[in-house]
Structure 1
Amino acid sequence: MILFLHGFPEFWYSWKQQMREFSSTEWVVALDLPGYGDSEGPVRADAYTVDALVSLVQEFISLLGRDQCVLVGSDYGALIGWHLLQRSPQTFSHFVSISQPLPNIMLDILDKSVHHKLKQWRCYLYQLPWLPEYLIAGGDLDILCAEYGDAQRRGRISPEDMQAYLFAFSRTEDWRGPLSHQRQLFAACNWASPPDRLAVPTLLVSGGRDRSLPVDAMYRCLPHLVDCRIQMVTDAGRHVQVEQPAQVNNLIRDFIGVLPDEPERQLAAADESGPGRSLLGRALEGGQGWLGAGNALYNRTVERINTAAALGERYTRTVMMLQD
């Protein structure tokens, strides 16, 4: 199983190209973190702490009946991933961290680098209790434009994909959960006891156009990792898997060692090219959150979906594509 955890401001849809790529050979699961998309947004601030999120993800993996999986995280999702690796390394065969170095290294960057404090000034703004929501409601804080504007101008995000993000974050209340996560950023980065050496094989991916991190950020992780690869995707910003999906897919596939199933990939491509079946339409229609699971897989997934429904109040929008 490959489990994908998105970052900020993303939702499960940011993994659509990876889900399409790996669904023919792997059991692929992408989650909306609490408060994102249609998932429930807890009111209490302590529901967004890294301890709470780690427990939720661990419980989710357990309910799916898996003892081990590949974990892929982007941005804040990767930050949660680092904590998962520290607490239960036996659960993960591989870890892929996109645009997120080790938490203590990230905190050091935010704490000591004036240059990167200025680059990430929004991180400090998000710590305030009500002002970000007020600015968003008034249209004075265009987070999506700040995050995706450069990629959109370079043609790395399609108009269809941008509409999906605009839809997911169209209301002021759509930002309450994401901002609650951001208010836990510094606490999540504050590792009281950084690990000496994490043994889980790790792939670190960064974007060459990501100005929020220093060039050597990922290399600073090497003393803490037993088995590590580092890859920079030159023409990509912070949301590497969105901007350069083919390169990221190849890096992941090479890292975890699975081979593409060409006939099924061609069949999936033919299905998606059918009339009236645009990706955005299929992603949003009926509120089901299914992407091309197909009739042939449906019956084999029902039992696991019913099991996963036990977490329905916490994950009301879970996107899965399963393959035996």
Structure 2
Amino acid sequence: MITNDKIVHVSVLEIVKLHLLSFVYGLCLIVKRFPKWVWNPKKFFMMQQRDKPPLCLVDNNLGTHSYVKIKGVKFHYVEAGNKNDPLILLLHGFPDCWLSWREQIPCLAQHYRVIAIDLKGFGDSDKPAAKSYYKIQILIEELKQFILTFGVKQCSIIGHDLGGLLGWYMVALYGDMIHKFIAISCPHPNFYWNRTPGDSIFDLKWIHFSRLPFLPEIDALKEDLSIINDAFQHLQLNNTNSEKDYVEAYKYTFSRKDTCDQISTKTLLIIGNMDPIVTIESIVQSSEYIKNFNVKMILGAQHFPHQQKPDVVNEAIKLFMGTTTHVEKPSSKNIMSSWLGSLSNTVKYGNHMFDAVHKKTSGVVNVLPNKVFYLGQTTS
């Protein structure tokens, strides 16, 4: 945990002032919203059902969708470029996700290993409910550990808005890890809160209002996530189909809820790597509903792996059921050839690797696991 004295904590007087401003601006915003609610409450609280993610969120053309778990929190990210090239970490702003960098990823991937993360609380990363999970010290420590999981000692950071703010902290606290830093629409933290007064969507009034409990979430979800329409007006000017999809993508990621119950029964998921019917993505999505699971990828098998590779499947079943102690070791050639090869061995994710659902947990995993690679985007 960070103990650096470069983070200056506000005084008690300043804390009281912040709470007072939050109350005042919150009351003002409630008064401003009240006529809309009274005039048409059904429209005010309207929320379109979004069960499936737009294609732009699950399309792998921009990169490989992957997950890593750090101290009990699951992070989703998209990776592109050569793994041997210098690493660039892209940190999005609010209200955004990895998709914010869709125009930069293809360009940067020609020269760099690009990682576009969903910050905690956004996109397909975990969204813990407790405010304590979002302390700046915790966020920065998680980003540090996230970088280290890629086996590098140094990387460059490009951050926009909130992501830029986190980038400033990374540079100040872990400067030896950051080769170069680019901040987009984000001044130094000492000036970050000096917002331009006016009626912009995220002005100083809204910043103070966002400190209140419950009300900011209700306000953000009003009128089918009008906050997304207000924040991304530039995507609606040309009104093209692709830009409509991006707006819908932001609404989909912003409206996701933790609604499913996990299965406690230990489960083994088997799939052939050449299956023309069942996709890798669907196996990943299925794992979100299971607390303790294993995955077995059968190389060279299609939709009937138990018939096409019966010996391998039988061995996997016996191993999973505890009737044999023999573990089939995948060849180093397969491991090096692709990430599918690394999954050819039974991968014991379980509770140590990936809780898959956005669990609200206070548990801490002391030993950081290696990266968990998946193809595709999951849904909740």
Q: TM-score, normalised by structure 2?
A: 0.45
In structure 2, relative to structure 1, the CA distance for the partners of 1:319 and 1:287 (3 Å cut) is: same
1 or 2 for the larger relative contact order (CA 8 Å, sep ≥6)? 1
Q: CA deviation at 1:26?
A: 1.4
Q: Which of these residues, 216, 228, 240, is aligned with residue 144 of structure 1?
A: 228
Determine the structure 2 residue equivalent to 1:32: 118
Assess if the C-alpha contact under 8 Å between 1:30 and 1:319 holds in 2: no
Determine the structure 1 residue equivalent to 2:251: 166
Q: CA deviation at 1:155?
A: 5.4
Determine the structure 2 residue equivalent to 1:130: 214
Secondary structure of 1:28 counterpart: strand
Assess if the C-alpha contact under 8 Å between 2:158 and 2:182 holds in 1: yes
Q: CA deviation at 1:287?
A: 8.8
Determine the structure 2 residue equivalent to 1:103: 189
Determine the structure 1 residue equivalent to 2:177: 91
- 1:14 aligns to 2:100 (yes or no): yes
Determine the structure 2 residue equivalent to 1:57: 143
Q: Which of these residues, 229, 232, 237, is aligned with residue 153 of structure 1?
A: 237
Letter in 1 for 2:120: P
In structure 2, relative to structure 1, the CA distance for the partners of 1:298 and 1:39 (3 Å cut) is: farther
Assess if the C-alpha contact under 8 Å between 2:221 and 2:227 holds in 1: no
Q: CA deviation at 1:99?
A: 0.6
Could you report, residue by residue, the CA deviation over 1:261-285 in whole angstroms, capped at 9, with x for unpaired residues?
A: xxxxxxxxxxxxxxxxxxxxxxxx6
Aligned partners of 1:311 and 1:318: how far apart in 2? 8
Assess if the C-alpha contact under 8 Å between 2:201 and 2:231 holds in 1: no
Aligned partners of 2:199 and 2:99: how far apart in 1? 28
Aligned partners of 1:26 and 1:320: how far apart in 2? 21
Assess if the C-alpha contact under 8 Å between 1:39 and 1:315 holds in 2: no
Assess if the C-alpha contact under 8 Å between 1:39 and 1:314 holds in 2: no
Letter in 2 for 1:144: I
Assess if the C-alpha contact under 8 Å between 2:88 and 2:158 holds in 1: yes
Assess if the C-alpha contact under 8 Å between 1:3 and 1:70 holds in 2: yes
- The equivalences for 1:193-208 within 5 A come to none
Aligned partners of 1:315 and 1:81: how far apart in 2? 28
Aligned partners of 1:162 and 1:304: how far apart in 2? 36
Assess if the C-alpha contact under 8 Å between 1:69 and 1:91 holds in 2: yes
Q: TM-score, normalised by structure 1?
A: 0.52
Secondary structure of 1:47 counterpart: helix
In structure 2, relative to structure 1, the CA distance for the partners of 1:311 and 1:75 (3 Å cut) is: farther
Assess if the C-alpha contact under 8 Å between 1:69 and 1:92 holds in 2: yes
| Stretches of structure 1 lacking an aligned partner (at least 5 in a row) | 175-284, 290-296
Tell me how many residue pairs correspond in the alignment. 202
- The equivalences for 1:293-312 within 5 A come to 299=337, 312=354
Letter in 2 for 1:127: R
Assess if the C-alpha contact under 8 Å between 2:201 and 2:230 holds in 1: no
Q: CA-atom RMSD, angstroms?
A: 4.1
| Stretches of structure 2 lacking an aligned partner (at least 5 in a row) | 1-86, 259-280, 286-334, 359-370, 376-380
Assess if the C-alpha contact under 8 Å between 1:8 and 1:76 holds in 2: yes
Q: CA deviation at 1:25?
A: 2.3
In structure 2, relative to structure 1, the CA distance for the partners of 1:288 and 1:299 (3 Å cut) is: farther
Aligned partners of 2:255 and 2:144: how far apart in 1? 30
In structure 2, relative to structure 1, the CA distance for the partners of 1:12 and 1:302 (3 Å cut) is: farther
Aligned partners of 1:66 and 1:96: how far apart in 2? 19
Aligned partners of 1:16 and 1:148: how far apart in 2? 15
Aligned partners of 1:66 and 1:288: how far apart in 2? 27
